[in-house]
């Protein structure tokens, strides 16, 4: 890893999360497969909501960083997905972000989400999408 980059504590998809008043986050059911419906028409896509949690740990000298997520489709197309800022307090401290994301999906298969900052990929998150009728 490049020098002075944050460490990834957690990067995971989940069924849901709850933010507690003490700033803790409760994660319910980590997932690696997402069942989506209806299947999109040929050449179209569907927006599929999914929850994700990200946790980072600091290195000395880190302060604010911009995190960029990129989606990689099963057919190999890479596109920007989401951007958010995180603030580091130093030492062992680190920010945690929990969010709902809307994934544009066109095809079944494994989608990879790249978690990057400063042009460096920190980790990748796989998510299999399966189309299923309700």
- Mean pLDDT lowest among 23-27, 47-51, 61-65, 70-74: 61-65
Nearest alpha carbon to residue 31 among 89, 111, 92, 86: 111
**pLDDT in the model for residue 30:** 94
Token pair listed for 38: 């209806």
Question: Which tens digits make up the pLDDT trace of 112-126?
Answer: 999 999 999 999 999
Question: Which tens digits make up the pLDDT trace of 35-67?
Answer: 988 888 888 888 889 999 999 988 777 678 899
2 domain-assigned: no
Supply the CATH number for residue 20's domain.
2.60.40.10
Please check the confidence at residue 92 and state whether its pLDDT lies above 80.
Answer: no
| Cβ count within 10 A of residue 43 | 6
**pLDDT in the model for residue 134:** 67
Cβ within 8 Å of residue 5, ≥6 positions away: 59, 117, 118, 120, 122
Cβ atoms of 94 and 57 closer than 8 Å: yes
Give the total number of structural domains in the chain. Answer: 1
126 domain-assigned: yes
Residue 134 vs residue 132, higher pLDDT: 132
Q: How far is CA 13 from CA 3, 20, 77, 97, 103, in A?
A: 27, 19, 21, 12, 12
96 CB burial (10 A radius; 0-12, 13-18, 19+):
middle
Please check the confidence at residue 2 and state whether its pLDDT lies above 60.
Answer: no
Residue 97 domain boundaries: 7-131
């Amino acid at each position: 890893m490049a020098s002075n980059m944050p460490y990834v504590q957690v990067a995971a998809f989940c069924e849901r999360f709850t933010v507690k008043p003490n700033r803790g986050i409760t994660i319910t059911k980590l997932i690696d497969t997402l069942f989506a419906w209806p299947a999109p028409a040929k050449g179209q896509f569907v927006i599929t909501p999914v929850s994700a949690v990200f946790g980072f740990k600091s290195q000395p000298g880190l302060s604010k960083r911009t995190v960029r997520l990129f989606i990689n489709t099963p057919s190999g197309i890479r596109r920007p997905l989401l951007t958010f800022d995180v603030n580091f307090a130093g030492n062992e401290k680190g920010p945690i972000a929990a969010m709902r994301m809307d994934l544009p999906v066109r095809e079944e298969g494994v989608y990879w989400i790249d978690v990057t900052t400063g042009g460096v990929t920190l980790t990748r998150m796989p998510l299999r999408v399966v189309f299923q009728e309700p």
